[in-house]
């Protein structure tokens, strides 16, 4: 993980990104969203996804992967790996609160959007914890005008309440192009 962060820092030194844009940070679901920048035209998009990352990692690297860009909006997708590593729903909420507080302490006017933890076939056994974590984060966000909750969880379920397999790659964890098209349709309005 440190290597990925160092690579971002080195790339920024060589070609500093603009400030005031939109930072997407989080796990491999952000890292693998190959055409993210093209899908959000007219916006300065800074993609800072790194494989295996947790909300704790996002907090740890705030000073390197978010704060220097002074973004107007931070979109975070993390929590999935926290749950996979055994974190309880309340721990996911506490980690997200730390993430928010870390940004708000430095960047008072920055909005933060949390992409809900996705339901994936590979993590079906964790679906209850994922539901509870999403609910806790959504409730925390509800009365804070600088926070947004982006619900990708429900659109990724079928009529039986199970993850839609057609949205995932063969590993049943990462999204395929159909999955990313769904994400774009849900996420883009928050970026505009």
In which domain, by residue range, is 60 found?
A: 2-11+20-191
CATH code for the domain of 62: 3.40.50.1110
**How many domains, in total, are found in the chain?**
1
Mean of pLDDT over the chain: 94
3-state secondary structure 81-115: HHHHCCCCHHHHHHHHHHHHHHHHHHCCCCEEEEE
Q: Do residues 99 and 55 lie in contact, with contact meaning Cβ atoms separated by under 8 Å?
A: yes
Q: What is the pLDDT of residues 70-103, one digit of tens each?
A: 999 999 999 999 999 999 999 999 999 999 999 9
Q: Is the pTM of this model over 0.75?
A: yes
Burial track 66-80 (b if 16+ CB lie within 10 A, e otherwise): bbbbebbbbbbbbbb
Q: What is the pLDDT of residues 1-31, one digit of tens each?
A: 578 888 888 887 888 778 899 999 999 999 9
Distance CA 69, CA 2 (A): 19
């Amino acid at each position: 993980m440190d290597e990925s962060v160092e690579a971002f820092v080195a790339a920024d030194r060589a070609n500093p990104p603009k400030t005031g844009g939109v930072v997407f940070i989080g796990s491999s679901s952000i890292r693998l969203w190959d055409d993210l920048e093209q899908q959000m035209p007219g916006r300065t998009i800074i993609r800072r996804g790194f494989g295996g990352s947790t909300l704790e990692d996002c907090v740890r690297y705030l000073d390197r992967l978010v704060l220097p860009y002074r973004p107007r909006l931070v979109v975070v997708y993390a929590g999935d790996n926290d749950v996979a590593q055994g974190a309880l729903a309340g721990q996911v909420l506490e980690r997200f609160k730390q993430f928010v507080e870390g940004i708000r302490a430095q960047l008072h006017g920055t909005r933060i959007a949390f992409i809900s933890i996705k339901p994936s076939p590979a993590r079906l056994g964790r679906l209850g914890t994922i539901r509870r974590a999403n609910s806790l984060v959504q409730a925390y966000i509800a009365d804070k005008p600088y926070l947004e909750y982006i619900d990708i969880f429900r659109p990724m379920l079928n009529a039986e309440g199970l993850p839609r397999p057609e949205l995932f790659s063969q590993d049943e964890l990462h999204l395929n192009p159909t999955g990313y098209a769904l994400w774009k349709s849900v996420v883009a309005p928050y970026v505009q």
